[in-house]
A and B are shown apart, each in its own frame.
Chain A
Amino acid sequence: MSDEAARLAAFRKDIAAWIEDACPASLRGRALGEDSIVWGGKRWAFAHADQKEWFDAAVAKGMTAPMWPTEVGGAGLTRPEEKIYREEMARLNAPPPLESFGLWMLGPALLHFGTPEQKAMHLPPVVRGEIRWCQGYSEPGAGSDLANVQTRAEDMGDHWLVNGQKIWTSYADKADWIFALVRTDRSAPKHKGISFMLIDMASEGVTTRPIRLISGKSPFCETFFDNVKVPKDYGAGGSAIVGELNCGWDVAKYLLTHEREMIGGGARGLLGGRSMGEFIGSLEESVAQDPVIRAEAMALEVDSLAFALTMERYKDRAEGGKGVGDASAMLKYYGTELNKRRYELLMSASGSAGVEWDGPHGSLAPEWLRTKANSIEGGTSEVMLDILSKRVLGMPSS
């Protein structure tokens, strides 16, 4: 065994022991539904003491943001270490201690584009789950054509005056801050006049209105900005704008890559936290033996396993400095389509029990409906295929 392999083997042992010790048994192996996720934020209330215990232990060790630098509260893990951490988390059936848009999206953007002041102000509260962020991208007239955002920020000397409307803002009603794409130059071509702005949701003039979805739930909101004053500078926290003024599209594109990888990755290990084998085993005998259901379960398992390997291969490639770039559109496209297939199988295998809003399968029905958004949010499957055909395959524009 090489020195590196020996070191990683020791790391695996240590991290497994830590998970076993820090994550209460009551949390392990539980179905991962919307209500068991810890999102954090100023208004967050833990569901029970065990959830908080695991969260606190993870924050203390930086494991809510395993690969972020230790200066901002992360654990500073290398890519091979992080991979081992995820493998051990999966093996021990431990839930993520914290999930948030701050971890998934704002963090990567600030780590790449942020100033030291911005990182120091915004990243530690994300790691500690103190501030919950939401993403203000889409607008009524800017869906697939995202660069068409019309929410404008006018330069008022010491502050920006923001007016406009965002839509499909996930959990805006529960978020403390928003990172938003706003138009700071209305005379420039549409990609060139956008800035990436950090706004406190408690500011006067910010209102949110949840949108009821086909799932009966309201994870998305409309967010309105009505003469909202945003300081140009948060003092020691630096500028309200991330990256250069009018260069928000670069930040947005970078972030969309992360978002696409993340949404694509959501396809792994679902089935309410169970493996396909356990799921099939839980069905009524006649259903478990149904040749059509078995055939689809097998095909889905084959595709899911191969996709999980592909996620790892792409991450390894990105880590090796080669980047994933436009190919991340493939992960988003493939992963979300797989997830939808998975839920279709769950529903058909559950039969009449699956169509109850709150039946023996819990929240299966709303989850099934929610997955339909997977191939729309963060760029539709059709936009992903456009990106792949034009930028990866070099096919001509029409």
Chain B
Amino acid sequence: MSLSLLETEDETMLRDAARGWLADNAPVAALRKMRDAGQAFDTGLWREMAAMGWSGVLVPESSGGAGMGHRAAGILAEEMGAVLAASPYLSSAVIAATALQGASEKLAAIAGGELVYALAVDEGTKHAPERASLHADRIGNGFRLSGTKVFVAEGASADRVLVLARTSGAAGDALGLTLFDIDAGRAGLSRTAKATVDSRDHAELRLEGVEATGEDVVGDVDNAMAVLAPALRAGQAGVAAEMLGVAGGAAAMTLGYLKERKQFDRTIGSFQALQHRAAHLWSELEVTASAVAHAGRMLDADPEAAEMAVSLAKARATKTADLAVREGVQMHGGIGMTDAYDIGFYMKRARVAAEWLGDYGYHAAKVAAARGF
């Protein structure tokens, strides 16, 4: 593929604008404030992001979106990651907007920021969509859904939930799964917010005889992957971009500290042992930035062929963010261990994002499979 990974002028403008706005409106201090108030995200902030077109980044202009594409979506996710901006951006604007392609009214509501979506896929501790066993039994013309979903991002606050359910086959079969679009307030659906280390909204969803009709089915019955796989790819590329941002934000904060902190009558950044570790981290960031840009470009150019590029990005971003936050806390020394200092927030978000939509091993194995081993 000879896609250029360089940013276009438009992309750089989008990045600069996002960075400026986020610095003013959603710095890490905002996340801290929400955490202290027991809030997962700021709905007012999300409405402002919507007004800038971010919630409609993947929604076609004909449905009221901005139709900017996946590379642009990744740039926004990266900038949000750099300041740990909490919002339903990936769940709603990236994942749900991709799964619901063609559903014009819903897309318009997502783009307008009026409707927040969550995706409920996993049931075990690791990402494995085809292992879903939450079952949707046919009752007359409709379905009745029962089972439990875990680690649902934005699960406690979303207005609607895309629920992956088994309509036939056994856990482990890629076929026999159906994606339902359910109102979060529907009878039989209960949600338990989990207090996760990143202070974001993650919930367990319990469905006990939740009724659904054919109209609630996204795509075709027994063939959820046709609509879910593209949505997962978009989400995985998005979370990879966010993690690149998390890594970059943590690295920048750490580099700043190395240049300012004095011990032994000199700035600690003048010590070669720390310089080499910082330079190594920067190298990893550069290499990961290429993988993230490539995933976005591939999703825009040829989404069906983008699976390996997306897994490459998520695998790399997971490793790089892990390195950045570990080095970040260590190089900050004692102050890095305090709640009062921001670096710890990066470590906590990186850990959660590492697990979301497939961990390092999941995606490295996908890359290997695509490369023939």
Given A84-B2, A316-B6, A392-B282, the answer on whether A334 and B287 have CB atoms closer than 8 Å is: yes
Name 9 A/B residue pairs within 8 A (Cβ), A-sorted. A276-B372, A280-B372, A288-B373, A301-B368, A303-B316, A334-B287, A386-B275, A392-B279, A395-B258
Tell me whether B365 is interfacial, beta carbon within 8 Å.
Answer: yes
Give the 3 A-B CB pairs with smallest separation, nearest first. Answer: A277-B372, A389-B275, A388-B279
B4, A389: Cβ atoms closer than 8 Å: no
* Among listed B23-31, B186-194, B266-274, interface-contacting one: B266-274
Residues of chain B from 267 to 296 with CB closer than 8 A to chain A in the complex:
267, 269-272, 275-276, 278-280, 282-283, 286-291, 293-294
A310, B275: Cβ atoms closer than 8 Å: no
B residues less than 8 Å from A303 (CB atoms): 287, 316
Q: Least Cβ distance of A11 to chain B in Å? A: 11
Which residue of chain A lies nearest to B320 when distances are taken between CB atoms in the complex? Answer: A306
A301, B275: Cβ atoms closer than 8 Å: no
B residues less than 8 Å from A286 (CB atoms): none
Tell me whether A83 is interfacial, beta carbon within 8 Å.
Answer: yes
Q: Least Cβ distance of A81 to chain B in Å? A: 10
Tell me whether A281 is interfacial, beta carbon within 8 Å.
Answer: yes
B residues less than 8 Å from A398 (CB atoms): 266, 270-272
Given A277-B372, A309-B290, A398-B266, the answer on whether A298 and B280 have CB atoms closer than 8 Å is: no
A305, B280: Cβ atoms closer than 8 Å: no
Given A298-B367, A301-B368, the answer on whether A330 and B2 have CB atoms closer than 8 Å is: no
Tell me whether B5 is interfacial, beta carbon within 8 Å.
Answer: yes
Partner of A306, one of B269, B279, B312, B371: B312
Chain A, residues 381-393, CB within 8 Å of chain B (1/0): the string is: 0101110111011
Residues of chain A from 326 to 376 with CB closer than 8 A to chain B in the complex:
327, 330, 333-334
A residues less than 8 Å from B6 (CB atoms): 313, 316-317, 320
Tell me whether A189 is interfacial, beta carbon within 8 Å.
Answer: no
Taken together as a complex, chains A and B put the C-alpha atoms of A393 and B269 apart, in Å, by 10
A residues less than 8 Å from B316 (CB atoms): 302-303, 306
Q: Least Cβ distance of B293 to chain A in Å? A: 7
A residues less than 8 Å from B371 (CB atoms): 275-277, 301, 305
Partner of A277, one of B293, B319, B373: B373
A388, B283: Cβ atoms closer than 8 Å: yes
A residues less than 8 Å from B171 (CB atoms): none
Chain A, residues 233-244, CB within 8 Å of chain B (1/0): the string is: 000000000000
Tell me whether A307 is interfacial, beta carbon within 8 Å.
Answer: yes
Tell me whether A80 is interfacial, beta carbon within 8 Å.
Answer: yes
B residues less than 8 Å from A316 (CB atoms): 4-6
Number of interface residues of B (CB under 8 A): 39
Tell me whether A312 is interfacial, beta carbon within 8 Å.
Answer: yes
Q: Least Cβ distance of A360 to chain B in Å? A: 20
Tell me whether B315 is interfacial, beta carbon within 8 Å.
Answer: yes
Residues of chain A from 258 to 285 with CB closer than 8 A to chain B in the complex:
275-278, 280-281
Q: Which residues of A contact B (CB under 8 A)?
A: 8, 80, 83-84, 87, 275-278, 280-281, 288, 294-295, 297-299, 301-303, 305-307, 309-310, 312-313, 316-317, 320, 327, 330, 333-334, 382, 384-386, 388-390, 392-398
Partner of B255, one of A83, A277, A393: A393
A312, B5: Cβ atoms closer than 8 Å: yes
Taken together as a complex, chains A and B put the C-alpha atoms of A291 and B144 apart, in Å, by 42
Which of A306, A307, A316 is the most central at the interface, judged by chain B CB atoms within 10 Å of its CB? Answer: A306
Residues of chain B from 167 to 213 with CB closer than 8 A to chain A in the complex:
none
B270, A397: Cβ atoms closer than 8 Å: yes
Taken together as a complex, chains A and B put the C-alpha atoms of A313 and B364 apart, in Å, by 22
Chain B, residues 308-327, CB within 8 Å of chain A (1/0): the string is: 00001001100100000000
A389, B279: Cβ atoms closer than 8 Å: yes
Which of A83, A393, A395 is the most central at the interface, judged by chain B CB atoms within 10 Å of its CB? Answer: A395
B residues less than 8 Å from A298 (CB atoms): 364-365, 367-368
Taken together as a complex, chains A and B put the C-alpha atoms of A307 and B312 apart, in Å, by 11
Tell me whether B35 is interfacial, beta carbon within 8 Å.
Answer: no
A395, B269: Cβ atoms closer than 8 Å: yes
B278, A389: Cβ atoms closer than 8 Å: yes
A residues less than 8 Å from B275 (CB atoms): 385-386, 389-390, 393, 395
Partner of B259, one of A307, A395, A397: A395
Partner of A330, one of B259, B269, B286: B286
Q: Least Cβ distance of B87 to chain A in Å? A: 28
A residues less than 8 Å from B289 (CB atoms): 310, 313
